[in-house]
Structures are given as C-alpha cells and as structure tokens.
Amino acid sequence: QVQLVESGGGLVQPGGSLKLSCTASRSILSINAMGWYRQAPGKQRELVARITAGGATNHADSVKGRFTIYRDNAKNTVYLQMNNLKPDDTAVYSCNALVLQVGPAANYWGQGTQVTVSS
C-alpha cells in the first residue's frame, strides 16, 4: 500500500556528510510517522530518527546534534541529513512508514541504502 524508495547512501570519510532521501508513493501527510532505521552486521536494527505527520521529530541519542530528519511534503519525501559521520554510523539505513488509519497498524519498509564511514 505504501512503496518507499531510498537513495543517498555511499562511502564517506569520518567527519563527512551524506543526505538520505525516502520518497513515498503517496502523501506523507497520510502516513502517521516516517523514520529512518539502521542495522549493522550482527546487530539489531535501531531507530535513528522519525517524524510524525504533524511534524514532530525525535532522534536517537547517538545521533543528536549530527543528524536531522526533515521533509518536503510536496515531494512526498523525507530526508536524513547526516553530518560529522563516524565509523560507528556504518550500517544499512532503511526508511519506514507507519500507517494507522485503516485496520491494524501497518509498517512498510524501503529496500535500504548502505552508508559506509571509513578513512
């Protein structure tokens, strides 16, 4: 019901920046919350940042002050601006959409984009 397409991953040196994009197949204002998760090999997937339909945001403690989630409603796109990247940020980053309007809560996921931070 919701398709998510991510882009923007890549290889960057420590201290560098990347911007991830997640474009949804319908208005993000009809999606209760969207967020970015990441998963490194051998580790659990963790929430990085999220934004609600109303615009409220939160960020994981590990990325506060470095990462910022924001959106362009006209483009149905949520972004994750990542600054001052660290090697520990290396992971597959996936976009998530939470939909509550019809029936049980439903989660949708993008395909993931690799972020590698290495000197």
* Percent of the chain's residues with pLDDT above 90: 90
- What are the pLDDT digits (tens) for 89-109? 999 999 999 998 777 889 999
Q: Within a 10 A sphere around the Cβ of 43, how many other Cβ atoms? A: 9
Instruction: State the Cα–Cα distance between residues 27 and 19, nearest whole angstrom.
Output: 21
pLDDT tens for each residue of the chain, 119 residues long? 899 999 999 999 999 999 999 999 999 888 999 999 999 999 999 999 999 999 999 999 999 999 999 999 999 999 999 999 999 999 999 999 999 877 788 999 999 999 999 99
What does the pLDDT read at residue 62? 97
Q: Give CA separation, 99 vs 11, 20, 28, 49, 76, in Å.
A: 32, 21, 10, 17, 15
Structure tokens at 16: 């560098």
Looking from the CA of 45 toward its CB, the CA atoms found within 13 Å total 12
